[in-house]
Amino acid sequence: MIAREVTASTPHAAREMKPASIRLEDLVSPRTIIRRDEPMARRTTLRIGGPADFYIEPVDERDLALVLQYASEHQIPLFILGRGSNVLIKDRGFRGMVICLAQPYFSRIEVDGNRLRCGAGARLKQVAVEAKHHNLTNLEFLEGIPGTIGGALRMNAGAMGGAMFDVVESVRMMDLRGKTFEKFPADLPVEYRSCLTFKTHIGLSAVLRGHTAARDAIEIRMNQFSQKRWSSQPAAPSAGCMFKNPASVPAGKLIEELGLKGTRVGGALISLEHGNFLVNDGGATAADVLALMELVRDKARQERGIELRTEVELIGE
């Protein structure tokens, strides 16, 4: 999942919020999941992260809107979590609400001709598989991205030469007041590994377009992508690629050229398989990962004059 943070109107911590006149549990459906002091390490692919004050899985759009309105009224920061890839949650956790669109309502995939309407919680791998089952190509690259539609929209996620907004036809989203509306890619500030609209809005669903092709050809293409990924990326827990690629050289190649593969800080290790993956080698803390990231950035700056920009989002205290 990719994850994304939606910043509320104030940076105040949840424990400093205005006294609530009514409990959130009393506003939403009993089927909406609300947990307090939820450990985030179990919900990130890096297996790192302190507790969130609130962890919420809304049952549907109505309850999501109520949660957002409650957060706004009580000045509670928000963080939208997908499958937990592409994010580093710090050791002290997140003082606010973590909202995850993991319930079935948000995970639906509906196929109509060469279009797929996919909920924000739909896993990218399942989208690719569903497209294959309906003989639709151009979506195979999604198979290897460990995230959801919502996170892929936020990050304009990509792999194997493809990117999310290459295949998006329209997006349904919600603002922090709970209002829903539809946008088209031409209306959105889409960049390499970023769409800034989703810093302040929540993706609800997207219509993706494919092209008809023989299923055997799609299967071959997906298998080729899978083999390439598993031969070049680590199996150990990671958040995915840590740094965005500079214009002059891929980040993984740069880190390898700097001789940093295998470098360790505590339980955090620069992968031997791919230099742009920092893995949890067992017991790593967010502090370990942050120190290792800074080591890489310092060396890239000093030896090559390159300023590496972080692709993984840093969340929490």
Distance CA 93, CA 264 (A): 23
Task: Indicate which CATH number applies to the domain containing 85.
Answer: 3.30.43.10
Task: Indicate which CATH number applies to the domain containing 295.
Answer: 3.90.78.10
Of 164, 152, 159, which Cα lies nearest the Cα of 122?
A: 152
Task: Tell me the CA distances in angstroms from 309 to 59, 215, 296, 315, one per residue in order.
Answer: 36, 39, 11, 16
Return the pLDDT at 21.
Answer: 56
For the segment 179-191, the average pLDDT, to the nearest whole number, is 95
For the segment 257-283, the average pLDDT, to the nearest whole number, is 96
- Are 249 and 199 members of one domain? no
Q: Is residue 17's pLDDT more than 70? A: no
For the segment 196-219, the average pLDDT, to the nearest whole number, is 95
How is residue 310 written in tokens?
Answer: 């972080």
Say which residue, 34 or 317, is predicted with more confidence: 34
- How many structural domains compose the chain? 3
Banded pLDDT at 193 (limits 50, 70, 90): confident
- Do 135 and 213 meet the contact criterion of CB atoms below 8 Å apart? yes
- Do 127 and 142 meet the contact criterion of CB atoms below 8 Å apart? yes
- Are 185 and 260 members of one domain? no
- Are 139 and 204 members of one domain? yes
Q: Is residue 3's pLDDT more than 60? A: no
Q: Is residue 302's pLDDT more than 60? A: yes
Q: What dihedral angle (degrees, nearest 10) is formed by the CA atoms of 82, 88, 93, 94?
A: -50
- Are 272 and 295 members of one domain? yes
Distance CA 302, CA 4 (A): 31
- Are 136 and 200 members of one domain? yes
Residue 227 placed within a domain: no
What is the side-by-side order of every strand in the sheet holding 168-174? 109-112, 115-119, 202-209, 168-174, 180-183
Q: Is residue 288's pLDDT more than 60? A: yes
- Are 187 and 116 members of one domain? yes
Q: Tell me the pLDDT tens digit for each residue of 237-262.
A: 999 999 999 999 999 999 999 999 99
Residue 222 placed within a domain: no
DSSP 208-262: EE-EE--HHHHHHHHHHHHHHHHHHS-SS-EEEE-BPPPSSS-HHHHHHHTT-TT
Return the pLDDT at 20.
Answer: 53
Banded pLDDT at 152 (limits 50, 70, 90): very high
The helix (H) or strand (E) run that includes residue 296 is helix 286-304
Residue 202 placed within a domain: yes
Name which of 137-141, 144-148, 239-243, 284-288 the model is least confident about.
144-148
Banded pLDDT at 5 (limits 50, 70, 90): very low
Range of the domain at 156: 108-216
- Are 99 and 10 members of one domain? yes
Q: Label residue 158 left, alpha or beta by phi (over 0 means left) and psi (-120 to 50 means alpha).
A: beta
Alpha-carbon torsion 82, 84, 89, 92, what sign? positive
Q: b or e along 72-110 (b: 16 or more beta carbons within 10 Å of the residue's beta carbon)?
A: bebbbbbbbbbbbbbbbbbbebbbbbbbbbbbebbbebe
Question: For the purposes of burial, counting CB atoms within 10 Å of the CB of 248, is it exposed (0-12), middle (13-18) or buried (19 or more)?
Answer: exposed
For the segment 60-80, the average pLDDT, to the nearest whole number, is 95
Residue 34 placed within a domain: yes
Average pLDDT, rounded, for the chain: 91
Return the pLDDT at 178.
Answer: 93
- Are 199 and 125 members of one domain? yes
For the segment 16-42, the average pLDDT, to the nearest whole number, is 84
Percent of the chain with pLDDT over 70: 93
Question: For the purposes of burial, counting CB atoms within 10 Å of the CB of 66, is it exposed (0-12), middle (13-18) or buried (19 or more)?
Answer: middle
Banded pLDDT at 308 (limits 50, 70, 90): very high
- Do 86 and 312 meet the contact criterion of CB atoms below 8 Å apart? yes
For the segment 63-92, the average pLDDT, to the nearest whole number, is 94
Return the pLDDT at 235.
Answer: 85
Alpha-carbon torsion 163, 43, 64, 314, what sign? negative
- Are 80 and 112 members of one domain? no
Q: Is residue 98's pLDDT more than 70? A: yes
Banded pLDDT at 151 (limits 50, 70, 90): very high
Of 96, 74, 93, 79, which Cα lies nearest the Cα of 17?
A: 74
Task: Indicate which CATH number applies to the domain containing 127.
Answer: 3.30.465.10
Q: Is residue 271's pLDDT more than 90? A: yes
- Are 202 and 241 members of one domain? no
- Are 194 and 272 members of one domain? no
Q: Which of 104, 129, 162 is the last residue of a domain?
A: 104
Distance CA 151, CA 124 (A): 10
The secondary structure of residue 39, as a DSSP letter, is E
- Are 96 and 147 members of one domain? no
Distance CA 208, CA 172 (A): 12
Return the pLDDT at 16.
Answer: 46
